[in-house]
Structure 1
Amino acid sequence: MEDEPRLPPELERAIFELVAISWPVFIPNLLLVASRVRYWVHPLLHRTLTINAPTIPGLPPSSVATFTHIQQTHPELLRGVKNLMILHLDTIETDTILSACPNVQNLYILLPGRPAVQRRTALDAMPLRHLYCELDDIGIVSNKDIFSSTLFGGLTHLELYDIEDEEEYWTGLAALPRLTHLAFDTFATYLAARYKEVLERKKDLKALIVLRRPSARHAQITVEDKRFVMMPLENYTRDWQCGVLYGDDFWARADKFIAGRIAGLPPPDAQYPFYLSEDGSADPLPSPTFDRSNLRFI
């Protein structure tokens, strides 16, 4: 027989919900505390869906079948999805999932070779704050007014898998009203001038990050701005999930590194104040573009 709660039910519920939202890794354990706690916390179990992707401990495995089951039995739970990862699905499945999860704030989408069809309508309605994508995957197929869509208006963090050297592209990025963190997966020395241009135009940008493959060496990009960071990242999906669960992702590591740099902490060598290794230390060895289509999950 369960013990009666010692706190007022409203306060007790607020406490458990706060724990579940702040540390989702503990939700499976919270479900076992008591039936009332399960009732409060169970809807929060599906705040994060990782469709067609391996998951780290603490995130429930999910698939198209999982999504379909939730949609058929408790469709209201999908309105509570805040973090969504979709990998390698066909167009119909992707559009169905996006349409059923209108309140997503953090979207990671990778659909190589699968053009977007009727996808923008669902995306424009989302209160997106973090977006990880290739522009083709979200229905952006032209450089004309490339970032004028409403789906970019609320973004604070944007990682782009593709990159263009067109004036409209960089002008549009610099004009995004709430953007504070920007990352690219493409390593290209000829784009150094574009990186500088964005940093000069957008003074409220806190970090511009170029992600790269950890092992290869390449010529150094020099951007004389403390907000510019190059960082190796081998396991993209795992990093995103660690960010959701623990707040420990490449954004957080870059913020810490930049804060130290601004405070005058090492590395003191002016030849490489722009690089960050996966463990957070200085790393002077940038590299070519990492191929996201060959994702590895450790």
Structure 2
Amino acid sequence: MLTLPPELQREIFEWTATAYPSVAPKLLRVAQKTRLWLEPVIYRVVVLDSPMITISLFMRTLESKPPSFFAAHVKTLCLTANTVTLQQAQRLLSICSGLENLICWAGANSANLSSYISSKKLRRLSAKMEVLFPEDPTMDDIRHPMFKALTHLDIVNPLEPPSLQHWDGLSALQNLTHLALGDLFYWSPQAVSTTITYILDRCENLQALIVVCGSKPQRERLALEHKDNTKLHLLPSFHHPQDYPVYMGEIRQRGDQGVWMNADREILVK
């Protein structure tokens, strides 16, 4: 009987677990060696979304392994559910200190989380600024050293700022190439247009600026005003063109993409 070399066996198992996340837990039971191979793959992306049972199960899992395991292997952490408590979010961020990608859409009950982000490798961030900096959620806060390596930043549902200088801190992010803002449905049309120009003028390294706006007339107007700007992309929703379950399924599988997965595919719409 033909026996595959161990390194090829491992590659097959890891590929299968990555391509089909739902079957990965079953593969753990094949043999002890498959558990050692696949646990780092399974925990590479942690998504805490509805239903609540998924949150409870993962918090229980934290007790089954040393913190060093999660520090080493969790690269993407996605907190999308408002049912993630402040204490749970703080603990997760403290333990997962090797994060490269953080998606934090939790509500105000999970505010003041910036001091718990200990990762020095954070490359992609999608968050509400008031969750990270509840007292003064301006772009000056983004100058913090924890964000110096960011290449992709998604500012979720920002409030219309009192002045354009609100965005000045973004220019300090020398590695930033992709920026997303939205939804800006409730902003005044003039504020959206001047913000786009202001940011692009000051963030010279940007390759793409994604503006999410649910108003079709406003998108059409912005597309006309900025028709010669190849960096600007306008979306009706952050998960366009997928529906939300498909979008989240891709996050679970790919981990590091988020709203920018569509920028990479060049299927953004004006």
Task: Give the structure 1 partner of residue 123 of structure 2.
Answer: 129
Percent identity, aligned pairs only, is: 21
- Whole-Å Cα distance in 2 between the matches of residues 227 and 42 of structure 1? 39
- Tell me the C-alpha RMSD between the 2 structures: 3.1
Q: Does 1:155 align with 2:150?
A: yes
Listed as ranges, the gaps of 5+ residues in structure 1 are 56-60, 258-279, 284-298
1:127-151 deviations in Å (ceiling 9; x for gaps): 2111111111113532383211122
SS of 1:146's equivalent?
helix
Q: 1:17 to 1:112 in 2, by over 3 A?
A: same
Quick one: which of 4, 10, 23 aligns to 1:6? 4
The answer to whether the 8 A contact 1:182-1:207 is kept is yes
CA displacement at 1:37 relative to structure 2: 2.2
CA shift for structure 1 position 166: 3.4
TM-score, length-normalised on structure 1?
A: 0.70
CA distance in 2, matches of 1:66, 1:193: 46
Residue range with higher mean Cα deviation, 41-50 or 120-129: 120-129
Question: Normalising to structure 2: TM-score of the pair?
Answer: 0.77
Give the drift of 1:112.
2.1
Q: Which residue of 2 aligns with 1:98?
A: 93
Q: Partners of 1:129 and 1:237 in 2: how far apart?
A: 24
In the alignment, structure 2 segments of 5+ residues that lack a partner are none
Given that 1:16 and 1:37 are in contact with CA atoms closer than 8 Å, whether structure 2 keeps it comes out as: no
CA contact (8 A) 1:84 1:106 kept: yes
Paired residues of 1:20 and 1:44 also in contact (CA < 8 A): no
Q: Which amino acid aligns with 1:207?
A: A
Alpha carbons of structure 1 residues 104 and 180: separation in structure 2 relative to 1, 3 Å: same
Q: Which residue of 79, 82, 90 maps to 2:75? A: 82
Superposition map of 1:1-298 within 5 A: 5-7=3-5, 9=6, 11-12=7-8, 15-16=11-12, 19=15, 23=19, 25=21, 27-28=24-25, 30-31=27-28, 34-53=31-50, 62-63=54-55, 65-75=56-66, 76-79=68-71, 80-86=73-79, 87-88=81-82, 89-114=84-109, 116-117=111-112, 119-139=113-133, 141-142=135-136, 143=138, 145-161=140-156, 162-163=158-159, 164-187=161-184, 188=187, 189-190=189-190, 191-213=192-214, 216-219=215-218, 220-221=221-222, 222-223=225-226, 224-233=228-237, 238-246=246-254, 250-257=259-266, 280=267, 282=269
* SS, match of residue 211 in structure 2: strand
- The CA distance in 1 between the partners of 2:174 and 2:122, in whole Å, is 13
Tell me, yes or no, if the aligned pair for 1:104 and 1:128 is still in contact at 8 Å: yes
SS at structure 2 position matched to 1:74 = coil
Q: What residue identity is the alignment partner of 2:133?
A: G
Deviation at 1:23, TM superposition (A): 3.6
- Work out whether residues 83 and 105 of structure 1, in 8 Å CA contact, stay in contact via their aligned partners in 2: yes
Matches of 2:260 and 2:8, distance apart in 1: 33
Q: Structure 1 45/134 Cα, relative in aligned 2: closer, same or farther at 3 Å? A: same
Q: Distance in 2 between matches of 1:178 and 1:156?
A: 5
Residue 232 of structure 2 aligns with an amino acid whose one-letter code is F
Deviation sequence 1:54-82 (CA, Å, 0-9, x none): 59xxxxx831x222322211134322111
Residues of 1 paired with 2:261 and 2:139: CA distance? 32
Q: Aligned partners of 1:20, 1:94: CA distance in 2, in Å?
A: 30
| Count of matched residue pairs | 248
Task: Give the conservation status (yes or no) of the 8 Å contact 2:127–2:155.
Answer: yes
SS of the residue corresponding to residue 174 of structure 1 reads helix
Instruction: Return the structure number with greater helix share.
Output: 2
Aligned partner of residue 178 in structure 1, secondary structure:
coil
